[in-house]
Amino acid sequence: MRKLNDAEEFLSIIRSSKRAYVFTGAGISTPSGIPDFRGSRGLYKEIPEDIFDIDKFYENPERYYEFHKKRISKMRNAKPNIAHLVIAKMEELNLICCVITQNIDGLHKEAGSRSIIRLHGTLDRYVCTKCGEIYSYDFVENVLWKNKGLPHCMKCGGLLKPDVVFFGEPLPEMELLKAYKTAEESDLAIVIGSSLVVYPAAIIPRLTVENGGKLVIINLSETGLDNMAYRKYETDIEEFFKKVAKELGVK
């Protein structure tokens, strides 16, 4: 009997599950040109780690928005890579029920994923820190580049903040509860590009294992839950999903 290659084995594990979900971290987006945070070429090699600290944001919003102009605008020009596209196809084929992501780049949505639980928010939206009014990314970009000032609410004048979770802020309760429920009710967690060391997000795949499910990890480096994995593919994410795409007939 022919031995399955990694891509075939991966899909076989998914097809033998009753309910599977994907959990993604920064590593899935690095092939799209978006750096991770703590890797050898990570963002924190070039910028201070407290750029996403909520107290620092309120103390000096100009500092954050200067970073936004240099980095976030480039991030928004990134395109989904083969891993994002394959995950969207897997959802379309009912191989997975949803994507739970730590990423704020919006690439899963652009790739076609429909059921997305965003643990750390999204750069698609900005929120007024006083009244909660929602604004688009394009509105903020227009202010930053044309008016050369900080973005403020047109209703109350409050400062706008990206609708993402800064250090010092809690994760969005409803999204976290949905993620926990998904993890507990699924029998397979597929982790892609996450070091699984940031909590409470890293609790999610652990919950699946603790409820009798399996954990599959696709990550080039060590993760915090390697010892719980049913199978780990310690490989380049983009190359791995090119093989999976071939098996699924995704171009």
- The residues annotated with a catalytic role in the active site are 120
Burial class (CB in 10 A: 0-12, 13-18, 19+), 145: exposed
- SS3 at position 149: coil
What is the residue type of 179?
Answer: A
Two tokens, residue 164: 């993402």
How far, in Å, CA of 27 to CA of 37, rounded?
A: 9
How far, in Å, CA of 114 to CA of 191, rounded?
A: 18
Residues facing 136 on adjacent strands: 125
3-state secondary structure 191-220: EECCCCCCCCCCHHHHHHHHCCCEEEEECC
**Other beta carbons within 10 Å of 75:** 18
